[in-house]
Structure 1
């Protein structure tokens, strides 16, 4: 399966630009973590935490997803992308909005710069959603993957709109409830609505493809789709009216059921795979699923502690966010980058030479030793940073922060090696 859509001039440049910029954002994110590591804030509403969280969610996670969607939508939906130019407009609005927002949070200046950032980011998100829906309108196929992707875009737009309203609320205070109340809703629309829905939709197609799985039980995906969306809608409505309460446990239980069905689908894919040996990228994908499961299992405890107004509710909420962004999403992106990007480069550089000369394989285009450095540095980060945060031990946090800097620059270095690869074969 060719991961690049046909007859789309400039699409290669668009996709690899997203991979490169998101890699740079990952390196910046790691450096900011290192700066904060000597006195890491325990509350998720601290300026530094807000800056890092939004850099992780937008610059690291969302930006690379945008690029991957431009690559994968034509493949998943079996039609051409709606526009080749509009994605560049999305990027030109997204980047200044992103960096302005991160800077505004870092110095915590909720004025014109933060407001402009919110407007730019929301505009770019809406244009991205237009591209996705217009592309889907050209497709004649019906699948669970399509439902997940389209629904995730609706949640993304809602997340961006609410986030912008919250930015303006800093100055004009027009929202009817306190800011932390809306922050909880904003965060979960983004985490469960955008990231979870989109990642399930895409991974449910890619993982069996990479593993060459014979069994792909689509009914499990369909039930997962409805349970996750219904639970998220209930959380939004009841959470807005009453905040976290004992009924939230039922909502979380429904979410857990939906996630469990997705994990059962992935388990079936692994059990029926023809490709038995797991490489480092796939191992990281498995690790990301472990982090997702751990973070979701924390939710009932966080809800209970919040109802009891325990001080541990805030600490565990921060840990939950880190497991999501630095665990689940980071491990998944680091793994899948080196399953997709090498193939994209290979198609560009070598597909026309296939059968005409001896050519390298996609896995030969990056440095395996650098991938191993990235892998072990990331494992060290997870072990030291999360333990240090729970134990309030700054030494462990600093060691973890140094480890993620090594992992991030190893990742970025390998991406640059891929993007600067030269074809030396002459016919």
Structure 2
């Protein structure tokens, strides 16, 4: 069995990401951004970037720092850049939001904050691409799921490059882009490359590995996984061609956009088929809360991607397209992330607290760290808020949407509280907790006098396996 390892800064990425999610939902509850403002209004761009960069991208980065070594069976390369990447990304997002606030008329700060924030974000994401990309390359491409990560990192690079160009245009510093036709024509391509490519395709690869691991199910056949990868890559290539045409001053038209959305929908359908096959073939008959909630997230993916191509091709109302995008971002990506965070955080906490005690003392099970009924209730609140919010957006009911986001915010705050309790081992009997100075810290790495977190922990024996 492979030696279990812990990423030093994954919990810090998760903590920052959850804080950003709560901030974004609070903005929406307050009526900031769409539908109270236009879809491309600065207020809406603030909310979108806090969600996509601050919440989803940081959470994805934290998860990849932990699981890419598992995918390729090789330790992280350049892992010392993880904390600088988090710091630079957080600072870049703050500057980007400050620049958008000037565009919105909230502040009188310089618009140069936009490209400055963009440059910091580019630097932070470049560090992540180097860490994760180098690990995948050094570990080899034998593991098919790692190829999804590599494709996602390529899409991340394109998303960051196009977004950086947008910031120069918005700040009036785009003389070097005089021949380009980026705004507003490039926004759909930029969004698809980021959400569909970086976040979506990477989520496909991570989900394959996590679902087979947590369900105790055999991996899907390489042929099926390759079909998903090739289909998604073809769709993303169409997006790249569209962005390249805009940079050259050409007008790609709607055909490439329609092809890209349709291709991603086919890839999502193939992926969803594989996920439900994993559920049927599982050896773990009793589903844990993270896997039950992931059914709802996968259903949101299937519904959203089934309806989005017809909505785009037949010119549905903006409110309908936005509602479907919201369902994908909050129902699938956010729902899947929140559900799996419960398991990931509890498992990493178990390893950190008890990994060195395996075989010497009787340790709690991983499930003993999580208050299941309360955690399930918070996840139900999230999905209920998402369903109500998507319907409200489609109907153009701004007030109802704000109430729906209040439900989502309540679920997020509740989950954050439960994850803090997990880290503090509140559910474990006091007599079975490690000494106070050896317990996990909420989001900081283990104390220096303990074994290094990026180093190996003892291999888990069959008799002491961390069962759920």
Cα separation, 1, equivalents of 2:335 and 2:410: 14
Change (3 A) 1:221 1:165: same
Number of the residue aligned with 1:193? 197
Match of 2:56 among 30, 55, 61: 61
Structure 1, 266-275 or 380-389: larger mean CA deviation:
380-389
Q: Secondary structure at the match of 1:337?
A: helix
| 1:266 and 2:275 are equivalent in the alignment | yes
TM-superposed deviation, 1:395 = 3.9
Cα separation, 1, equivalents of 2:331 and 2:288: 19
Q: Deviations over 1:134-169 (max 9, x none)?
A: 212321451221211111101101100110100101
Q: Secondary structure at the match of 1:85?
A: helix
Number of the residue aligned with 2:322? 318
Number of the residue aligned with 2:131? 131
Number of the residue aligned with 1:230? 234
Change (3 A) 1:17 1:89: same
Number of the residue aligned with 2:364? 360
Q: Deviations over 1:212-241 (max 9, x none)?
A: 113521211111111111122124425745
Number of the residue aligned with 1:279? 288
TM-superposed deviation, 1:288 = 1.4
- Calculate the aligned-residue CA RMSD, in Å: 2.4
Number of the residue aligned with 1:172? 173
Cα separation, 2, equivalents of 1:42 and 1:289: 30
TM-superposed deviation, 1:329 = 1.0
Match of 2:354 among 350, 356, 373: 350
Paired residues of 1:244 and 1:303 also in contact (CA < 8 A): no
Paired residues of 2:293 and 2:339 also in contact (CA < 8 A): yes
Q: Secondary structure at the match of 2:185?
A: helix
Change (3 A) 1:3 1:210: farther
Number of the residue aligned with 1:113? 113
- TM-score, scaled to structure 1: 0.90
Number of the residue aligned with 1:374? 378
Number of the residue aligned with 1:33? 28
Paired residues of 1:3 and 1:344 also in contact (CA < 8 A): no
TM-superposed deviation, 1:193 = 1.3
Q: Deviations over 1:273-307 (max 9, x none)?
A: 1112222211221211122222222332332344x
Cα separation, 2, equivalents of 1:150 and 1:25: 26
Paired residues of 2:33 and 2:41 also in contact (CA < 8 A): no
Change (3 A) 1:169 1:4: farther
Cα separation, 2, equivalents of 1:247 and 1:94: 31
Unaligned ranges ≥5, structure 2: 105-109, 436-468
Unaligned ranges ≥5, structure 1: none
User: Which structure has greater helix proportion?
Assistant: 1
TM-superposed deviation, 1:372 = 2.4
Change (3 A) 1:411 1:246: same
Cα separation, 1, equivalents of 2:93 and 2:256: 36
Cα separation, 2, equivalents of 1:147 and 1:79: 15
Cα separation, 1, equivalents of 2:141 and 2:22: 39
Q: Aligned pairs, how many?
A: 417
Number of the residue aligned with 1:396? 400
Change (3 A) 1:394 1:261: closer
Change (3 A) 1:249 1:156: closer
Match of 1:290 among 296, 299, 303: 299
Cα separation, 2, equivalents of 1:252 and 1:139: 32
Q: Deviations over 1:383-426 (max 9, x none)?
A: 32222222222442232121011011011111221223377536
TM-superposed deviation, 1:107 = 4.6
- TM-score, scaled to structure 2: 0.83
